Amino acid sequence: MTTSKQMTLKLKVWRQKNAKDQGRFVDYTVEGVNQAASFLEMLDVLNEQLIRKGEEPVAFDHDCREGICGSCAMMINGCAHGDMPRTTACQLHLRHFNDGDTIVIEPWRARAFPIIKDLVVDRSAFDRIISAGGYVSTNVGNAPEANSIPVPQQDAEAAMDAAACIGCGACVAQCKNASAMLFVSAKVSQMAHLPQGQPERARRARNMVAQMDKEKFGACSNTGACEAACPKGIKLTNIALLNRELARAQVKS
């Protein structure tokens, strides 16, 4: 392990002052950054340089930096969160790059995710989709007796897998259609598999899909780029399930 190796990276970063600004790529060189650093730490180093020079630092979203909050969001050389499978940008490490590499860093691009500044986009469209039905509206009170609502193990697993979605938007960013199907399908699937999700099942699917369309995300072309880009490994099986759920909601109405 040569964890102390220093490297120099050339960056092409999208800079955009605000939603109205046209925006453009700006070239930067980051020198002497440790190979053990994460991608976001490398951007921190860049920002320190910029601040010392009296320039505006690059704005990017981040919070937990341990791959669980879904805040970090950027296209790294055309790949959402970089080209490593099942990795968020904050968990991507520089050891996967070579000294002297040029890296292109762009914001998520989707009509439904307008750019706020530099690499920061407005992902509130996801919140509005959740508000349209991604919840269970009964007052559950205290935690029930653990075994009072039996859930078959397979269903519990499928629900847990879908619930792993951190809502980062990588699926939208990677999809050629900027489609939100993987996100919406994970949120619908997580509850369709559980007894608590049954009473509102049809309405949830219908309302969340209606909101998804209203936000002007694209349709699903079944390319699978979303699953490949998802840092949490959310599966295309959820999309097949959502397609079934909406048909089921229609037939039952």
Give residues in contact with ligand FES (CB under 6 A). Answer: 62-65, 67-72, 88, 90
Of 102 and 222, nearer to ligand HEM (C-beta) is: 222
Residue 94, both tokens: 């520089």
Q: Residue 4 Cβ, how far from another protein at the closest point, in Å?
A: 28
Question: Which option in another protein, ligand FES, ligand HEM, none does residue 67 bind, with CB closer than 5 to 8 A by kind?
Answer: ligand FES
User: CB under 8 Å to 120, separation ≥6 — which residues?
Assistant: 59, 60, 61, 107
CB-CB contact of 71 with 62 (8 Å): yes
CA dihedral 135, 169, 161, 89 (to 10 degrees): -140
Question: Which option in ligand FES, ligand HEM, another protein, none does residue 34 bind, with CB closer than 5 to 8 A by kind?
Answer: none
Q: Which residue is nearest to ligand HEM (CB)?
A: 221
Binding region for ligand HEM (CB under 6 A) out of 105-113, 142-150, 187-195, 215-223: 215-223
Cα-based distances in Å from 41 to 26, 37, 88, 105, 108: 19, 6, 13, 14, 20
CB-CB contact of 99 with 143 (8 Å): no
Q: Residue 59 Cβ, how far from another protein at the closest point, in Å?
A: 18
Of 156 and 219, nearer to ligand HEM (C-beta) is: 219
Site membership for ligand HEM, residue 222 (CB under 6 A): yes
Q: How many residues bind ligand HEM (CB under 6 A)?
A: 3
Cα separation, 121 vs 116, in Å, equals: 5
Q: Residue 219 Cβ, how far from ligand HEM at the closest point, in Å?
A: 6
**Per-position x/- string for 167-206, each x denoting binding to ligand HEM as judged by CB under 6 A, each - no binding:** ----------------------------------------
Q: Which residue in 188, 186, 189, 191 sits closest to 138, CA to CA?
A: 191
The burial class, CB within 10 Å (0-12 / 13-18 / 19+), for 138 is: exposed
Site membership for ligand HEM, residue 221 (CB under 6 A): yes
Q: Which residue in 119, 243, 117, 107 sits closest to 172, CA to CA?
A: 107
Q: Residue 39 Cβ, how far from ligand FES at the closest point, in Å?
A: 10
Question: Which option in ligand HEM, ligand FES, another protein, none does residue 69 bind, with CB closer than 5 to 8 A by kind?
Answer: ligand FES
Question: Measured in whole angstroms, how far is the alpha carbon of residue 181 from the centre of its chain?
Answer: 12
Q: Could you list the residues that contact ligand HEM (CB under 6 A)?
A: 219, 221-222
